[in-house]
Structure 1
């Protein structure tokens, strides 16, 4: 069974700012370069019902691919160097598909 990994989040940066755009571009470049990442998408929340403004969505063929992604140095570096200091709030969901 495949795994759909979703992270919904709000950045510390102002919406539409150069910092926001740079974060999203770096995330796309970094995360799609990790083996096993399929169908990567960056989505923007439009409903006023949630304070979380963005979503990263990606699919992995199986649990082994997802585990390898989580342990990959590029993912670990992105989380430590960018995600932790620049994400104000988030929710993470992993679904079997």
Structure 2
């Protein structure tokens, strides 16, 4: 299992129609990709981080994660929306850490 997360801020004003349209488009586009599981959008509430939102999703493994990254819907969303509307981000991709790996 891989947990893919990306924390980000948008160029849009908080609470604006631009912000809502971006987030709605992300949910519609990314959840339609068959390998995406447990998609979640969260809003940052801590003043300790300048990043306002987080997308989180899981994949069954590396093959599914690679499929997502290469999927035309994901690539299209990144090219048409993400690169134009995201002002800053950090991406984190994790797999479970088990006792056998210590």
- Same topology, TM > 0.5: yes
Divergent runs of 4+, >6 A: none
| Corresponding residue for residue 40 of structure 2 | 41
| Corresponding residue for residue 57 of structure 2 | 58
Q: Which runs of 5+ in 2 are unaligned?
A: 97-102
For residues 36 and 77 of structure 1, what CA distance do their matches in structure 2 show? 16
- Greater Rg, structure 1 or structure 2? 2
Count residues in correspondence.
96
**TM-score, normalisation: structure 1:** 0.98
The offset of 1:35, in angstroms, is 1.2
Q: Which runs of 5+ in 1 are unaligned?
A: none
| Corresponding residue for residue 99 of structure 2 | none
**TM-score, normalisation: structure 2:** 0.93
SS in 1 for 2:49: coil
The offset of 1:44, in angstroms, is 0.0
| Corresponding residue for residue 31 of structure 1 | 30
